[in-house]
Amino acid sequence: MSQRLIVDQSQFEDFCEHLRKSKTVAFDSEFVSEYTYQPQLCLLQFATPEGCVAVDPYQVKNLESWWDVMTDDETTVVVHGGQAEVRFCLTHTGRCPRKLVDVQIAEGLRSRSYPLGYSALVARVLGRRVHGKETRTDWRRRPLSPQQIQYALEDVKHILEIWKRQRASLESQNRIAWAEAEFQRMIDDVETDRSRDSWQRVSGIQKLNSRELAVACELSDWREQRAAECDRPFRQVLRDDLLIELARRQPKSIKDLLATRDLNRGHYKQVAADFLKCVERGLAVPESDLPEPLGLRNDEKHQDEHVLAQLLGIALSNRCAEMSVSRSLVGTSADLRHLVRGHVQKKKKRSLLHD
């Protein structure tokens, strides 16, 4: 543990053996997602009671030993806001972490503060001051500077101590089971999001009708394939707002397509014919095969449901304040609307059965 940066494969294997023996490890990562189809893992940081170590994945090519540790039944892996780390684990192994703790979530189960950034969490739990995230650092550049490594290691330095205090607090309130359920829900949400079709992740997709949605699905599939081929983020291939606009306007010619603001840019002109083919395929989908809209139809948007959801939100906020639990972890506004809608629809079905 005397080394701060591991760049040798054999040293990395020895370090992973140390992690197995430690049974508990803090984990964080630095990555860049602006330039490639998949986020690019640039640095891994670890902390055990013996100290902090970073691993350079540009030089340590085989990280399998770590992913095996992260997914075993023996090692507790403690993270802060660990959705990205779970995604990397799933990408590299196809397996989920088995014993994951997220101190960001844990704090929301013993206070109303969620989500707290790392610096704020350290200050709240430990009363210490740390630097902010190095959001402007290009983690792809090599060699890494001593300052970069120092900043990166500080992101895991306090995590185990934070969890130790949180765990004692949660145990005293009989909330450990709550925390374990929320940790698992976060993992499940990441796994579910990865398995969704690409069109389901398009911002604004819920506002489209069935025919527009069919066009959007074709455009989204094309965008995903193109992004993978070019190794570019798919939103650089075609922005969400422009995809939605194409699905709504359904242009029939190059001239009509280029009349849309921002679609007349050079890189879009090069693939304009592909856009038209996507629109054509979407318009050719038979009525019987059209996808169901994701949003509510106008006749389902009852004012009563909205009012009931607001009232439930007030009651839930008050109860969460009484119990010192984050409202957003217990139930979002969308959760409450779905709850009310499901209850109303269930009552309607019962009424029809009695009639």
d(CA 236, CA 221): 14
How confident is the prediction along the chain (355 residues), in pLDDT tens digits per residue?
Answer: 556 999 999 999 999 999 999 999 999 999 999 899 999 999 999 999 999 999 999 999 999 999 999 999 999 999 999 999 999 999 999 999 999 999 999 999 999 889 999 999 999 999 999 876 666 788 999 999 999 999 999 999 999 999 999 999 999 999 999 999 999 999 999 999 988 888 988 999 999 999 999 999 999 999 999 999 999 999 899 999 999 999 999 999 999 999 888 898 888 999 999 999 999 999 999 999 999 887 655 444 566 777 888 888 899 889 989 999 999 898 888 888 878 877 777 766 666 666 5
pLDDT for 352: 60
* Alpha-helical runs (H) found in the chain: 9-22, 64-70, 83-93, 103-108, 118-126, 146-157, 159-172, 176-195, 210-230, 234-237, 240-249, 254-258, 266-269, 272-284, 303-323, 327-330, 333-354
What's the confidence (pLDDT) of residue 299? 46
Per-residue pLDDT at 294:
79
Question: What CATH number does domain 5-195 carry, 3.30.465.10, 3.30.230.70, 3.40.50.970, 3.30.420.10?
Answer: 3.30.420.10
pLDDT score for 311: 87
Q: Which two tokens stand for residue 230?
A: 């070019």
Domain with CATH 3.30.420.10 in the chain: 5-195
Is the Cβ–Cβ distance between 5 and 149 less than 8 Å? yes
What is the DSSP annotation of 84-133?
HHHHHHHHHHS---SSEEEHHHHHHTTSS--SPPHHHHHHHHH----PPP
Phi then psi dihedrals of residue 17, to 5 deg: -65, -40
Strand partners, 45: 28, 54
Domain 198-289 in CATH 1.10.150.80? The answer is yes
Structural contact between residues 100 and 82, judged by C-beta atoms closer than 8 angstroms: yes
d(CA 329, CA 91): 26
In the chain, ranges of CATH 1.10.150.80 domains: 198-289
CA distances, 305 to each of 154, 274, 320 (Å): 47, 42, 22
Residue 213 pLDDT: 96
Are 69 and 10 spatial neighbours (Cβ–Cβ below 8 Å)? no
Q: Which of 73, 96, 71 is nearest to 83 (CA)?
A: 96
Q: What is the pTM of this model?
A: 0.87
